[in-house]
Amino acid sequence: MKKMPIIAIAALALAAGAAFWLHPADDALPPLSKTAALPLAERVARGAYLAKAGDCMACHTPRGAPAYAGGRALQTPFGNVVSPNITPDRETGIGQWNADDFWRALHNGKSRGGRMLYPAFPYTNYTAITRDDSDALFAYFQSLPPVRQANRPHQLRFPYNQQLGLAFWRALYFRPAAFRADTGQSVDWNRGAYLVQGLGHCSACHSTRNVLGAASDGLSGGLIPMLGWYAPSLTSDREAGLGDWQPAEIAQLLKTGVSPRGTVFGPMAEVVRESLQHLGDADVKAMAVYLKSLPRKEPAERYERSATPEARAFLEAGARLYTAHCVECHGVTGKGLPPHYPPLAGNRALLMDEAVNPIRIVLNGGFAPGTAGNPRPYGMPPFSHALNDNEVAAVVSYLRSDWGNNAPPVSGNDVNRYRTVPLD
């Protein structure tokens, strides 16, 4: 082995050890929870609701597989992390765990026996979950039919596959914590903050990440590497634009997937369908109150559009494609017919600097979730079979430039990058 790798590994070990000495893990158990005293049926029902709120099935259940038996490979820049079996099977699941083991996994990011877990399991958010909610979740998972399915190993590159490297990451970016209510805010605000920051783990998608994969700045938006979609900033009026929404409009979007102000597509459609629509109205309202209160950021400077003949011809080609394929639903003026045909004029999904979402919708189609509040959702057909990369780029660029929209154009290379990215 060369000298430099040895020095680097030694430096990592020293840094990790020093950090853990300065910031020891919080392994102490909290007092016995109130949930533990409830009848089992109540604990299980409460846990089932919380599992929906946390959308646990999304990661722990591959499509068509037994519920919560694990095996879904989550793609990250460092390799694949494979979700574990969390059914109560004693050999391959969590049947030998107790409530303390489960709470330590959520709160401390450690498996039974003390092995550190990878933060693809969002314990950086779940650390805020109360012991009461942790015990209810555990009761629910223990009530499931056990599924005997061995866990597959992660497929991570060196040094990310080393517990030493994970210890270093945790020393830099993770401290066990508890949710602290803000006494200066309302009950709704605090409940919403608890759901958004903790169990809902919204920042897992709606945040930028640094080179080591740590979320760096709250809910200011970010590309989701494992899915190839962009989760918009919830603090910017140029992106999600919640600043001029009313809380009732936000709640409607979260609960049904559609509202007069917007429609959810892509990964968020799955979140609404599998998780948010099942929440009680009070919890959805609380999340809306909290999201509405987030600090707003000022819009960026206006984009200066090129007036060259080539640039004009490119947009004119996009306009012709729009007339041929899109105008019947979205209209000549881009106003659409919301919520079924979303408006394109002023649509913030089109105006973000990162144009991956409109590119993917044109390529693969756009489908709102089927929910109790939107039982017959309208969908947009895919055009990947009908339009080449440059044509998709032209129509997306046109959408980003007309009806008062003003965002930079995209290129055929931008489109090609996402043409073969899987939907799931």
Domain-wise residue ranges, the chain: 3-173, 309-419
**pTM score, whole prediction:** 0.89
More confident residue, 242 or 314: 314
* Contact call for residues 209 and 198 (beta carbons, < 8 A): no
pLDDT at 37: 82
* Contact call for residues 233 and 206 (beta carbons, < 8 A): yes
CA–CA dist 119, 66 (Å, integer) = 24
Q: Which residues pair with 156 in a beta bridge?
A: 79
- Using the 8-state DSSP alphabet, how is residue 222 labeled? E
Q: CA quadruple 408, 347, 240, 77: dihedral positive or negative?
A: negative
pLDDT at 291: 95
pLDDT at 260 over 90: no
pLDDT at 21 over 50: no
pLDDT at 124 over 60: yes
Geometric angle at alpha carbon 232, from 229 and 235, rounded to 5°: 165
- Per residue in 359-392, pLDDT (tens digit) is 999 999 988 999 999 999 988 999 999 999 999 9
More confident residue, 231 or 304: 231
CA–CA dist 321, 219 (Å, integer) = 35
- Using the 8-state DSSP alphabet, how is residue 242 labeled? G
pLDDT at 15 over 70: no
Place of tokens 């639903």: 329
Q: Does domain 309-419 have CATH number 1.10.760.10?
A: yes
